[in-house]
Structure 1
């Protein structure tokens, strides 16, 4: 038994040395009362109690750490794509990027080693923020409010205004409407849904669900507000438009 334990001792010592981590806690102090100089070839004077009073000059534990410079080895939403050199906070860089093997330190060796990552543009988004925007738009139900009294036909600028009410700035050229036009006022399509497409690039497109609502300038003609209307299942606008056109033809 004892020989086997002795054989494990070097391994335990090696493991203990591996688990030891350096703690970066440095305090810079200075004496509040300077020590008097002693004469040449004479022993130094005895220190008094006041000479052991120190003032803190610098505490590295509370000092703001510099940004980490990293090279991304994978696409990170909202930050960058493969091969991009970014600067992030140390805690985020260590815990989220380096430990999960999504980035490496931007040393001179790594910069030359991972330089070829920028050539891999097969799945690279046009912008780091595009995937996040597409996810948000996929969960959105856009309320499109139209006039109840004047005739209209939905155009891209109507959708642009509806996006602006939600805090989104979408240019008209990026909005693709359905092939079938939506005209009104038509109370048969009140509260019904349709889909438009937001184009980020030729390869990046996202459909957005829309709900049509009518609005009147006369308070007595206004429809009652439906709370959390996006949770109520409804039919498509075009199903009612086809029925409406068939009835008009008859």
Structure 2
């Protein structure tokens, strides 16, 4: 595991596959952005499928998460966008495909809007510009308060979360398995979503975009319907059966199939503009 450092914040990342980047032949690299309270290991099943397609695949722990700086002084949306840009530039990934889930998808959306020169394509999983959601910080705090940590074993954690990937994101200590995130930091991470919508940023995105919703997910159908209406001709939709909010964990093969079909229709980096 390696790190990118920006303004005193360390971002842990994993870089696998080819060395594709600016001006190099082949598929554009893919940068994976996990959701709130998650970690880059969530992407392992999907990453293996993308690697088999010949992509260079990079994933990183967002600030406040996993092996990255746990308590950064700034958890704003702008800081998270600057982190994504720092990883893209440090690893020479541009033009990159951003694939993000939930809060990571929101970061990907804002990055594509602010830095169109860096982004080749965008895949948003259970993520969009809708809002505001005044209840969100309370909901997140209550959700984290409901984690019965420390767990006595990874098996107990897996049973609670419903997926082993979430259990792998925990930290082992002498008394059991603890969260690798802090409640106040996670609440701060969603503070702006409580008061803001991001439709203006969505309309500034210029790259081809795939919006993915789980059939049993939490993303409102009205939001997914409005997104292509606001950006006609550049936005595709996909609904993944038998998937909830964590589409990448519930149905990685189906998500991969949708992403691969979308990317196959996107021109290569030398001819898309």
TM-score of the superposed pair, with normalisation by structure 2: 0.20
Task: Compare relative contact order (CA 8 Å, sep 6+) and give the higher one, 1 or 2.
Answer: 2
